[in-house]
Structure 1
Amino acid sequence: MLKIWGFFAFLTVSFGNAQSKNAFVQANLNYDNYCNVRFQYCVDYPIQLMTPEPESSNGDGRIFTNHKHEETLRVFGRNNLDAEGRTISLKQQFDADLKSLAKNTATKITYQKRGKTFFVISGYKNGKIFYQKTILKNDAFAYAILQYDENERTVFDKISTNIFKSFK
């Protein structure tokens, strides 16, 4: 049975188990690519699961929503300067983001990693799973933040791999 909500079409099929259904959904996803001209980053997103909202008025990024019109993926860029105009290192931004996330008592960080040109932070925030990848690109930071309900984990955990591998 095909169910349509707005721009989304969801296929409801009876399978023996949830793993089979998730494998079917993942195998039949098509991806589109969003590239940001201002900060020169690109990311792929599954068109059956996300709808792109208009690009922000200042041209720094875009929000993608799910079939419930909830934010699922947010991508944006910003200059790597502090309020006084000094350059911020990747380590400084990583530490600042961890500190900011720790202030929220509804956030639990379960994974963090910093490389030469990127960092990743993931966990639970406000009852949802979140993955954040930040890359240093052309003297700016580009962010991709994916969030979704835990009951969507089996689908989105695999989709997140495609999204974050494409984020460059």
Structure 2
Amino acid sequence: MRRLSSIMAGFAAITVGSATAAPFTYVNERFGTVCTFPDDIFTDRQPEPENGDGQVWLSADGASLTCSCILNIDNDTPKGFIAAEQASKEQSYTIAYSKTGKDWAVLSGRKDGKIFYERRLFGRDGVIRTVWIDYPPALNSKYDPIVGAIAGSLKGP
């Protein structure tokens, strides 16, 4: 219950004065992944891929949110994921922050000119659950306060 309270508090800065009373909770039917976010910001739901591995939402101001899942067929770990990302040679990709726990990893930085925040959960069920949020740097005062709450809402069954 404490976690839900902190998620709701994270959204309070954005939803105060808006028409939306409660955030939207997405549940992925294939993997049971859950992600909660303000649907008055991420309003443009993209078509779900045929394999049912997740969903993408876009905002009117150029941000995007992805909640997705993959099977962990390579037995990847949080530390292995971070190490691989830090070794990336992709020109438009820089990592400013990374942290791992027993079954999770977080990355933040810039990709293709946008700020990104990614959280991955490595489930005992062999599924990696991911939330990815990116937004233009000029909008960091709008998105920085809510990315932690959105990422913290990511969970599996």
Q: Which runs of 4+ in 1 moved over 6 A?
A: none
Higher strand share: 1
For residues 31 and 110 of structure 1, do their structure 2 counterparts lie closer, same or farther at Cα, with a shift above 3 Å needed?
same
The residue number in structure 2 matching 1:41 is 33
Matched with 2:92 is 106
Q: 1:47 to 1:95 in 2, by over 3 A?
A: same
Spell out the pairing of 1:1-168 with structure 2 (5 A cutoff).
25-27=14-16, 28=18, 30-51=22-43, 52-67=45-60, 70=62, 72-82=64-74, 87-99=75-87, 102-137=88-123, 138-168=125-155
TM-score by length of 1: 0.74
Equivalenced residue count is 139
Which stretches in structure 2 are left out of the alignment for 5+ residues?
Answer: 1-11
Whichever residue aligns with residue 90 of structure 1, its letter is P
- Between structure 1 and structure 2, the one with the greater Rg is 1
Cα distance change of structure 1 residues 39 and 24 upon mapping to structure 2, 3 Å threshold: closer
Aligned-residue CA RMSD in angstroms? Answer: 1.9
- Tell me, yes or no, if the aligned pair for 2:57 and 2:65 is still in contact at 8 Å: yes
Per-residue CA shift, 1:111-156, capped at 9, x if unaligned?
0001001000101111110001010122111111100001111110
Q: Which has the higher contact order (CA 8 A, sep 6+)?
A: 2
TM-score (normalised: structure 2): 0.79
Identity %: 28
Structure 1 unaligned segments of length 5 or more: list them. Answer: 1-22
Code of the residue aligned with 2:80 in structure 1: it is Q
Contact 1:62 1:74 in 2 (8 A): yes
Query: Residues 71, 24 of structure 1: CA spacing in aligned structure 2 closer, same or farther, 3 A cutoff?
Result: closer
Match of 2:6 in 1: none
